[in-house]
Chains A and B, each alone.
Chain A
Amino acid sequence: MKVLVAMSGGVDSSVAAAELRREGHDVVGVTMRLWGGESDTGCCSVSDVDDARRVAQQLRIDHLVFNFSDDFDAHVVNPYVDAHRTGTTPNPCIECNRHLKFDRLSRRARLLGFDAVATGHHARIERQPSGVWRVIRGADTAKDQSYVVHMLDQKELAYTLFPVGHLTKAQVRERASELGLRTATKPDSQDVCFISKTGGRETFLGHRIPFRAARVVDETGTELGSVDAVELVTVGQRRGLRLPGGAPKQFVLDVDVATATIVVGDEARLERAELHADRVMWSHEPLPLGSEVMVQTSAHGATQPALLDEVGADSVLLRWRTPQRRTAPGQSVVLYDPSDRAVLAGGIVR
């Protein structure tokens, strides 16, 4: 097969390219240039492109750079800023996968005659006996990334390869070392690639939106204090609220950007019986009402069982088996089958 492998300059995608090469595929590596601004981490810096190119050279495959910065701004950076402006908590890595890796890049790959696109995600793709394609959790449960690639539909699943999904991270690093790849010991990327460590989220957003001070109140409306930027506060947050010490720990229960008000209370007050999600994408067909699913609400969070209470055109209402802590609006929620192995759907918390 002729495979285009997305190489970020990290160890996982380096080994993904190596695995495909070892299997005898005709492999071309590509690094996407996404962010044109200041950055010190993630997949956009020149040194990461250098790493990807050097690995490709060592593997004797061609390496290209595609400039997709226009789509990255439009679909990842601008929505990230807008989300903060409107008081929700976005997940830019998921939007990047949705709009860049598994849309713009795969469209480009098809156009150029490739048979598949590959990435270094720790997840697997299986075709079930029924013929339905599913994303399956990666073999390394601690590094599983099925949550961030949940948006793959049948068409994309049939076109995508995850060559390291069956390996543990330790095995990936071992293979990179054996091959003498310079990325073998490179640390995992952790942060949002377009936010620099020195400035952080506050500086990044501060250059793009005006921060508004907000009142911090308890559930009865009594004012307890204030913060400088309502845009930087997230549901469930405990630190950085500048509340007087000595009192019981207070958590953010709600953020109302319109009135610049932050409601705080005891942790127990965050518990919810249900969760509403919009922009839901089913990887195949929607499940019937009443089906039990396992639900994950953060990249490496635990999953919890829930029942499908309502299924709309692109929304779902989930009823938790036992009440769960509220998830911040804007976060992604991913539904797995009852064995907690295969991705069924994903959406955005309302």
Chain B
Amino acid sequence: MNSERGRLAYLDHAATTPMCREAITAMAPFLSDEFANPSGSHRFSRSARTAIDEARDDIADVLGCAPGEVVFTSGGTEGDNAAIFGAVRRHGGVAVCSAAEHHAVLHCVEHLGGEVVAVDRGGVIDIAALQQTLDNVAARGERVAVVSVMAVNNEVGTITAMRDVARVVRASAKGAVLHTDAVQAVCWLDVRDIVMVTDVASFSAHKFGGPKGMGIMVVKAGTTLEPLIMGGGQERDRRSGTSNVAGIVASAAALRATADARATQVVRVGHLKQSLVSGIMSQLADVIETVPSAATVPGVAHLCIADVESEALLFLLDEAGVCASAASACASGAMEPSHVLGAMGIDPRFVKGALRLSLGHTTTEQDVQTAVLAVVRSVKRLRRQQ
């Protein structure tokens, strides 16, 4: 859409963040001269194979796992599906997840008739309720196949202490696979801590400066999953399909660059988020910061604004050159009422005006100023006319 300002403020990094220079540079040769299929036996293939193996080593180093535990997928959704369906098909038993999970987890668990555990007002899984659910499954004489709990919520940005979840799962669901959708964690948290306490973790490259269509899954040694995709036996039979060489190489470069810059970005973006949130909230009444900043990642500012509708607000923001989002969109592109906010028990008067402004490595002070001005003006306009 046209921006009268001639400048766009992109604040939708949680949907996708621009590719970093390192990733683009790294993948370029594999889109031209280095075209070979790495599974072949000739010199071209060996060269591509080397690139993948180096990328795998690099990724393992950043994630704090062994290279053999890194599995390349098509994205976060595939990783989530592979973990949940893979665990249930291999081991049998019940799938368990939190009510605030991304649909890539929630729909799998619901499809399998699993258990969905309540979350608290901040969107964190209720540990007592999880304990109760695991005990109930055991009392029925059933076993838990997989427990899936996201590390960082994609809508509101809440961080879950995976260590606490792991403690309960290890004690009360022996043999269960503990999976985490860590898609939103990479830019903001040291993911080694998450990988350390879980059995399977899913990541998506385009959320940290890599290309779309690339995912990384860590499957710890000793954890077995029935493969979701069968065929040529790539990825040690865990995920068939010709390797996406360019995507893998770019993902490794993006992951390394993100990890190297993380400490600086956490501070820088954290300040930007504070000025964004306080700038809006100091000028508008009846706005809540959905989850206090202390409990969320720096990249997600989620507000609930009373007496406005997200769809109308997003249209005006778009007109003003601010790219933001509300909740997840359905297949038609329509905004769906957020299941996350519903599960958190947010006042319905505020839920309709949900707004997610997500920041990333390219966000500037100017973006924040543009967004504050646009949000304040748009909300005032909508409230005045309603």
B334 touches A66 (CB 8 A): yes
Contact B1 A62 (CB under 8 A): yes
B315 touches A33 (CB 8 A): no
Give min CB distance, B328 to chain A, whole Å: 12
Contact A53 B312 (CB under 8 A): no
Rounded to whole Å, the gap between the CB of A69 and the closest CB of chain B is 8
In the docked arrangement, what's the CA distance between A46 and B334, Å?
10
Interface size on B, residues (CB 8 A): 17
B336 proximity list for chain A (CB < 8 A): 67
Given contacts A111-B312, A112-B312, A112-B315, contact A65 B332 (CB under 8 A): yes
B 330-386 contacts with A by CB, 8 A: 330-336, 382, 385-386
Q: Does chain B have a CB within 8 A of A31?
A: yes
A181 CB to nearest chain B CB (Å): 19
Residue pairs across A and B with CB atoms within 8 Å: the count is 37
Q: When the two chains form their complex, are residues B312 and A65 in contact, meaning their CB atoms are under 8 A apart?
A: no
Q: Does A49 contact B (CB under 8 A)?
A: yes
Contact (Cβ within 8 A) B312 A108: yes
Give chain A interface residues in 43-65, CB to chain B under 8 Å: 44, 46, 49, 53, 62, 64-65
Nearest to B308 among chain A residues (CB) is A111
Some 24 contacts from A to B, beta carbons below 8 A apart, are A31-B332, A33-B332, A33-B334, A44-B332, A46-B332, A53-B333, A62-B1, A64-B311, A64-B315, A65-B329, A65-B332, A65-B333, A65-B334, A66-B334, A67-B335, A67-B336, A69-B334, A108-B309, A108-B312, A111-B312, A111-B382, A111-B385, A112-B315, A112-B316
Q: Please list the residues of chain B having a beta carbon within 8 angstroms of any beta carbon in chain A.
A: 1, 309, 311-312, 315-316, 329-336, 382, 385-386
A69 to B336 alpha-carbon distance, docked (Å): 9
Task: Write the nearest CB–CB distance from A213 to chain B, whole angstroms.
Answer: 36
Residues of B within 8 Å of A69, CB to CB, are 334
Q: For residue A33, which residues in chain B have a CB less than 8 angstroms away from its CB? A: 330, 332, 334
Which of B315, B333, B386 is the one whose CB lies under 8 Å from A49?
Answer: B333
Q: Which residue, of A64, A69, A108, has the highest number of chain B Cβ atoms within 10 A?
A: A64
- List residues of chain B with CB within 8 A of the CB of A64: 311, 315
**A197 within 8 A of partner (CB):** no
- Determine the chain A residues whose CB is within 8 A of the CB of B382 once the complex forms: 111
Interface residues of A (CB under 8 A from B): 31, 33, 44, 46, 49, 53, 62, 64-67, 69, 108, 110-112
Minimum-distance CB pairs A-B, first 10: A33-B334, A67-B334, A65-B333, A49-B332, A65-B334, A46-B331, A46-B332, A33-B332, A67-B335, A111-B385
Majority secondary structure of chain A interface residues (helix, strand, loop or mixed): mixed
CB distance from A60 to the nearest CB of B (A): 12
How far apart are A328's CB and chain B's nearest CB, in angstroms?
34
B-side contacts of A112, CB under 8 Å: 312, 315-316
- What is the CA–CA distance of A9 and B311 in the complex, to the nearest angstrom? 20
Q: How far is the CB of B349 from chain A (nearest CB, A)?
A: 14
Q: How far is the CA of A44 from the CA of B334 in the complex (A)?
A: 11
Closest Cβ of chain B: how far from A317's Cβ, in Å? 39
List, in ascending order, chain A residues with CB within 8 A of B332's CB: 31, 33, 44, 46, 49, 65
Alpha-carbon gap, A158 to B302, bound state (A): 39
Residues of A near B329 (CB, < 8 A) are: 65
Q: Which residues of chain A are near B334, meaning CB under 8 Å?
A: 33, 65-67, 69
User: Shortest beta-carbon distance, B368 to chain A, in Å?
Assistant: 24
Give the complex CA separation of A66 and B330 in angstroms.
11
Enumerate chain A residues within 8 angstroms of B1, measured Cβ to Cβ. 62
CB pair B311–A67 under 8 Å, yes or no, is yes
- Chain A residues with Cβ below 8 Å from B333 are 49, 53, 65
A70–B359 CA distance with the chains assembled, in angstroms: 31
Chain B CB within 10 A, most for which of A31, A62, A112: A112
- Contacts A110-B385, A111-B386 known; A66 to B331 CB distance under 8 Å? no
State how many angstroms separate the Cβ of A29 from the closest Cβ of chain B: 12
Distance in angstroms between the alpha carbons of A162 and B315 in the assembled complex: 24
Tell me the minimal C-beta distance from A72 to chain B in angstroms. 12
Taking a contact as CB atoms under 8 Å apart, the answer to whether A66 and B385 are in contact is: no
Nearest-neighbour CB distance to chain B for A62, whole angstroms, equals 6
- Among residues of B, the one whose C-beta sits closest to the C-beta of A26 is B2
Q: What is the minimal beta-carbon distance from B130 to any residue of chain A, in angstroms?
A: 30
Q: Which residue of A lies closest to B333 (CB)?
A: A65
Alpha-carbon gap, A110 to B332, bound state (A): 24
Closest to B330 in A: A33
Closest to B309 in A: A108
